[in-house]
Structure 1
Amino acid sequence: MDPIPPKNDDRSNPNPLAVDLHKLGQLVCDARVRCELNIRDAADGIGVSPRVLSRIESGESVGTERLFKVLKDFGLAMLVMPNGDADVALEALGHTVNWEDIVARQSPATLSGPRPSLVLGRTTPTLFVDYDGTLHAGHALVDEHGQITLDSGRAMFEFAPLLVEMLEPYPSVEIVLTTSWLETLHEEKVISYLPAKLARRVVGTTQGRKARFSYFRDGTGRTDIITSYAFGKRLKHWLAIDDSVYGADSFGYVPGELMGNFVLLDSTRGISDEGAQQRIRDWLVEVHTDNCTQRGQTS
């Protein structure tokens, strides 16, 4: 199909910048309206289903091949360029853009307006546990035979007995593993390195989860992955002990609201640090008390 020729309309000069799917959908919708086509007729002409075109215009995701087909047949082009070059192009078209405002509007911590509340219905205490810099000092090195040693020269999991001891009075606490070992080893193999008393608490891992690019780029990828997991599972009581959970003050709907959920460890001391141990013990007491109170109210 040849590109659909838009009807000339000199009365408006819409900003062509699409910073999210909703804006992109609006631009596609505007193009269709200028062509004086309803969704069904436009979809038939392009060769996609009306549902696909409707999803695009509503700001919902579709396959990239279908998205580009719709753009091409509406005579729309997508350009990918640095912000500075986009500034020049937009200025030539009579538009300006404030990138700081755009980033602020897209940030989960600063989005304004009504928002559906996130119901954190799962009250089981959940501890996100790293290996390197947490259960031992230093980071793992894997040789050509698959043997693992630590760059610190220390023993692996030397601090694990401390965690076993802290969790002993709290049998309901579950563990989710966040270690980078999951990137190269099978999940079952990673769990097998733990002492049995910790291994049997493991209910999941973050294996296969990817941080959003902006967080990966600024070094807060692990924090993003853990936060996404916790919100996705609707966890109410959770704590992450990890030497890579940077930038926790930037996560959550309100800046700083999740800082208490992260214990950023010194990789040379891990959970042998007395301050870190106190944080963990305080959290265990807090969630145990809260769960006991809730059970008393519902009994």
Structure 2
Amino acid sequence: MQHRSLSTNERRSLLCYLDYDGVTHFDSVYVNPNRGIHMAVPGPKLFEWAPILELLLQPFPEVKIVLSTSWVRLKNLEFAKAQLPPKLQAKVIGATFDNRVTQKLDFDLMPRGLQVWRDVERRKPANWFAIDNDERGWPSWCRDRLIKTEDHLGLSDNSVQEAIRKLLVSL
């Protein structure tokens, strides 16, 4: 199996592995053939907290984003990327799901933390962190790279924002 080699910039970059549901918006998101992807409850909006991440990353142009969301698996990378504000879209360099590397069923059976870790092993970034509401199955050796969000607060949580700021300054 062949896949492209990684550029020097990718190996030296600081990567943010980004989940969507429970991070960029409230976690209760559903897919319906008639309604498409939508919020399960009235009020919250899809990607309503994405501008917060944009502001947090603004002082750090070296940060690139790898999507670790099931939206890539459900639709595709281009669709998932297009949901973000333009400045975040420009930072997206790929996704943890790549059907040239992992079969869909194998990927779906893998806990999120292992999906991220396998991508880290493949990309070999200089540094990385993940923002996700799912902490199950994260390997013990990289749990300190996870910024855990709450399903109903995501990036709107001030403590999450502060954790991201502290982490970015320390890397």
CA distance in 1, matches of 2:103, 2:157: 29
RMSD of aligned residue pairs (Cα, Å): 2.2
Change (3 A) 1:210 1:260: farther
Alignment match of 1:145 (pick from 14, 19, 34): 34
Instruction: Report if the CA contact (8 A) 1:212-1:221 is conserved.
Output: no
Aligned twin of 1:167: 57
Q: Which has the larger radius of gyration?
A: 1
In the alignment, structure 1 residue 276 sits paired with structure 2 residue 160: yes
Give the TM-score normalised by structure 1. Answer: 0.49
Aligned length: 157
Written as runs of structure 1 = structure 2, the 5 A alignment for 1:1-299 is 122-145=11-34, 147-153=36-42, 154-207=44-97, 208=99, 209=102, 216=109, 221-248=111-138, 251=139, 256-287=140-171
Gaps of 5+ in 1: 1-120, 288-299
Instruction: Report if the CA contact (8 A) 2:77-2:94 is conserved.
Output: no
| SS of residue paired to 1:122 | helix
Residues 173-213 of structure 1, C-alpha deviation per residue, up to 9 Å, x if partnerless? 10000111112212211111110010000001122346996
Question: Structure 1 or 2: larger strand share?
Answer: 2
CA distance in 1, matches of 2:127, 2:116: 13
Aligned twin of 1:44: none
CA distance in 1, matches of 2:126, 2:165: 17
Structure ranking higher on relative contact order (CA contacts 8 Å, 6+ apart): 2
Instruction: Report if the CA contact (8 A) 1:128-1:241 is conserved.
Output: yes
CA distance in 2, matches of 1:197, 1:166: 12
CA distance in 2, matches of 1:206, 1:139: 22
CA distance in 2, matches of 1:266, 1:257: 22
Change (3 A) 1:235 1:212: farther
Instruction: Report if the CA contact (8 A) 2:27-2:151 is conserved.
Output: yes
Question: Structure 1 or 2: larger helix share?
Answer: 1
CA distance in 2, matches of 1:259, 1:245: 8
Change (3 A) 1:135 1:230: same
CA distance in 2, matches of 1:176, 1:245: 17
Aligned twin of 1:6: none
Gaps of 5+ in 2: 1-9
CA distance in 2, matches of 1:278, 1:152: 28
